[in-house]
């Protein structure tokens, strides 16, 4: 047995990085050809993750004659789309009140209901297109393990009633149902929403790429876009690459956590790091102590929270922030994560599920997600400049990308639809602070959240003042 940190049981073939465990399961996809030279399209999409793939899918479905290209630096699904926790949920990033200020409370409620429907839309498209992504719609559990978390959990469910959540959309569980669903050590209370499904994210990304390529979308991999230029005079909007310029009526930026690498975009969205570990398959005897027969998604109610799923082959995959941000918006080391992060996630897994203490860890990895300065997702298209974008999902992108793709379709085709009237459309936010303020601020925010969790775990019955201070600094 190899070791990255004393006391962590690891399999003999433990791996750290190599993009993600999800790709280890299915193998890295064969690379598609890179851009052969200058090209002209109706729509050029920068980024081959879920946002780009869904946008291309819905555009070609609506108008098969559109000339659509995707320009990807690595391979389609390389970023967060192939590394995330496999959470197809209706959670939407950002403050509901902040979104409601744009177009009213009902518009935010409409947005939430659109997210509910988007969960089922992803499932329906996967089924219709023959994409086997280990999807199981078991819902979502939030679990409180101390009195302060329980107070927040109850208050959160009560508040959601005024934001479009009915009793059937989110409810507190009684002790018997909580115990029947999942045995989390020290759980004081839990809430349940049916609007959630487990997926194998790399399978979804690879499947979507296959489908859109079959629809006639040109996917150019190993093609780095260095800058995106607006329409100017008779020149179309342009994606600049070392292999030639791609001109298009519309250029859509779908780069999420990698946006900082584009010229002029360094402070647009902060690339937040999130890490994961996955165990070897758990034996049936251990599952008897844990339960989890419904394959629900799981999240605790801490400030520096963890998220988890039971995989299709009976592993536990669990993730959390670890080292949240690298100085200068540095992004990828091909998924390698730090030793202390592996140890942290292992301790959290065993804390939640003591019965799994002897189960070994098979793989650890990490990736980045995009965070706007106000922590609210956005989708936008400017017909005058020919530029559009979507992102800033703050970790809720598996479902939100689908909604973004359908919204960008309607915006490109100049359709006035309920989707184009949602309050995240056209949202503009200020940039992040320059370094070293950006790095210092993020480190302080997460140090405060971790301190708040420690204080609440020890003796807190109310949310720690440290957490309130972190919220204030972060601008959430």
- Judge if 96 and 41 occupy the same domain: yes
C-alpha dist (Å) from residue 286 to 112, 147, 289? 37, 28, 5
| Residue pLDDT, tens place only, 34-59 | 999 999 999 999 999 999 999 999 99
Q: Which long-range contacts (CB under 8 A, 24 or more apart) does 127-134 make?
A: 129/207, 129/211, 130/207, 131/203, 131/204, 131/207, 131/208, 131/210, 131/211, 132/203, 132/207, 133/199, 133/200, 133/201, 133/203, 133/204, 133/207, 134/86, 134/198, 134/199, 134/200, 134/203, 134/311, 134/312
- Judge if 453 and 409 occupy the same domain: no
Q: 5-9, 128-132, 156-160, 237-241: which range is least confident on average? A: 5-9
Q: Is the dihedral of CA 363, 195, 351, 291 positive or negative?
A: negative
| Residue pLDDT, tens place only, 409-434 | 999 999 999 999 999 999 988 999 99
Residue 5 — very low, low, confident or very high, per pLDDT cuts 50/70/90?
low
Q: 142-151, 237-246, 259-268, 452-461: which range is least confident on average? A: 452-461
Asked, for residue 138, whether it belongs to a domain, the answer is no
- Judge if 453 and 400 occupy the same domain: no
Yes or no: say if 316 and 353 are a contact pair by the CB < 8 Å rule: yes
Secondary structure (DSSP) of 349-395: HHHH-GGGTTPPEEEEEEEEEEE-TTS--EEEEETTTTEEEEE--TT
Predicted local confidence at residue 392, as pLDDT: 95
Residue 82 — very low, low, confident or very high, per pLDDT cuts 50/70/90?
very high
Rounded average pLDDT over 147-172:
96
- Judge if 36 and 117 occupy the same domain: yes
Asked, for residue 229, whether it belongs to a domain, the answer is yes
- Judge if 407 and 447 occupy the same domain: no
Rounded average pLDDT over 126-136:
98
- Judge if 451 and 417 occupy the same domain: no
Calculate the CA dihedral of residues 426, 63, 77, 265 and round it to 10 degrees. -30
Nearest to 216 by CA among 38, 404, 57, 29: 57
Yes or no: say if 11 and 222 are a contact pair by the CB < 8 Å rule: no
Asked, for residue 187, whether it belongs to a domain, the answer is no
**Is the pLDDT reported for residue 2 higher than 60?**
no
Q: What share of the chain is helix, strand, coil (3-state, %, to 5)?
A: 35, 20, 40
- Judge if 467 and 392 occupy the same domain: no
Asked, for residue 347, whether it belongs to a domain, the answer is no
CATH code of the domain covering residue 405: 3.50.50.60
Predicted local confidence at residue 4, as pLDDT: 53
Asked, for residue 333, whether it belongs to a domain, the answer is no
Q: 111-120, 141-150, 157-166, 319-328: which range is least confident on average? A: 319-328
The number of distinct structural domains making up the chain is 2
- Judge if 49 and 96 occupy the same domain: yes
Rounded average pLDDT over 64-81:
98
Q: What is the largest CA-CA distance in the chain?
A: 69
- Judge if 412 and 443 occupy the same domain: no
Asked, for residue 352, whether it belongs to a domain, the answer is no
Predicted local confidence at residue 108, as pLDDT: 96
Domain boundaries, position 462? 435-476
Predicted local confidence at residue 1, as pLDDT: 35
- Judge if 206 and 253 occupy the same domain: yes
Asked, for residue 342, whether it belongs to a domain, the answer is no
Predicted local confidence at residue 154, as pLDDT: 97
Asked, for residue 243, whether it belongs to a domain, the answer is yes
Rounded average pLDDT over 302-322:
94
| Residue pLDDT, tens place only, 359-368 | 999 999 999 9
Yes or no: say if 146 and 453 are a contact pair by the CB < 8 Å rule: no
Q: Is the dihedral of CA 138, 366, 402, 69 positive or negative?
A: negative
Tokens (6 digits) for 281: 């398959």
Pairing of strands 10-16, 361-371: parallel
Yes or no: say if 198 and 88 are a contact pair by the CB < 8 Å rule: yes
Predicted local confidence at residue 333, as pLDDT: 74
Q: Is the dihedral of CA 67, 73, 75, 78 positive or negative?
A: negative
- Judge if 411 and 460 occupy the same domain: no
**Is the pLDDT reported for residue 332 higher than 90?**
no
Mean pLDDT, rounded, of the chain: 95
- Judge if 258 and 224 occupy the same domain: yes
């Amino acid at each position: 047995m190899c070791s990255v940190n004393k006391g962590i049981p690891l399999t003999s073939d433990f791996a750290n990085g190599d993009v993600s465990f999800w790709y280890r399961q299915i193998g890295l996809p064969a690379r598609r050809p890179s851009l052969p030279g200058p090209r002209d399209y109706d729509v050029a999409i920068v980024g081959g993750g879920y946002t780009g793939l869904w946008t291309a899918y819905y555009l070609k479905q609506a108008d098969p004659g559109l000339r659509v290209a995707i320009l990807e630096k690595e391979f389609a699904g390389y970023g967060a789309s192939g590394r995330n926790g496999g959470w197809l949920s209706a959670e939407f990033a950002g403050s509901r009140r902040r979104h409601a200020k744009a177009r009213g409370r009902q518009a935010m409620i409409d947005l939430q209901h659109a997210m509910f429907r988007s969960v089922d839309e992803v499932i329906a498209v996967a089924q219709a297109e023959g994409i086997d992504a280990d999807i199981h719609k078991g819902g979502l559990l939030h679990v409180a393990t101390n009195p302060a978390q329980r107070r927040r959990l109850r208050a959160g469910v009560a508040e959601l009633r005024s934001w479009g959540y009915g009793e059937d959309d989110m409810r507190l569980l009684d002790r018997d149902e909580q115990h029947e669903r999942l045995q989390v050590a020290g759980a004081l209370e839990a809430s349940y929403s049916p609007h959630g499904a487990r997926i194998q994210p790399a399978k979804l990304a690879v499947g979507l790429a296959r489908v859109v390529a079959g629809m006639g979308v040109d996917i150019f991999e190993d093609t780095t876009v260095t800058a995106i230029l607006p329409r100017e005079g008779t020149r179309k909007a342009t994606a600049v690459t070392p292999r030639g310029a791609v001109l298009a009526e519309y250029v859509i930026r779908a780069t999420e956590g990698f946006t900082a690498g584009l010229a002029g975009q360094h402070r647009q969205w902060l690339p937040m790091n999130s890490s994961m570990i996955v165990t070897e398959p758990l034996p049936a005897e251990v599952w008897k102590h844990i339960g989890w027969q419904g394959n629900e998604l799981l999240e605790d109610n801490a400030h520096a929270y963890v998220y988890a799923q039971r995989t299709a082959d009976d592993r536990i995959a669990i993730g959390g922030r670890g080292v949240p941000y690298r100085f200068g918006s540095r992004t990828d080391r091909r998924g390698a994560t730090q030793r202390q992060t592996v140890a942290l996630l292992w301790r959290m897994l065993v804390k939640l599920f003591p019965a799994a203490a002897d189960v070994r860890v098979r793989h650890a990895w990490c990736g980045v997600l995009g965070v706007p300065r106000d922590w609210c997702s956005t989708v936008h298209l400017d017909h005058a400049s020919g530029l559009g974008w979507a992102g800033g999902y703050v970790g809720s992108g598996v479902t939100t990308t689908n909604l973004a793709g359908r919204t960008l379709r309607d915006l490109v085709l100049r359709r006035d639809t309920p989707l184009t009237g949602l309050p995240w459309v056209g949202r503009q936010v200020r940039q992040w602070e320059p370094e070293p303020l950006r790095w210092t601020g993020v480190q302080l925010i997460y140090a405060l959240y971790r301190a708040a969790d420690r204080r609440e775990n020890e003796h807190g019955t109310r949310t720690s003042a440290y957490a309130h201070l972190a919220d204030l600094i972060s601008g959430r």
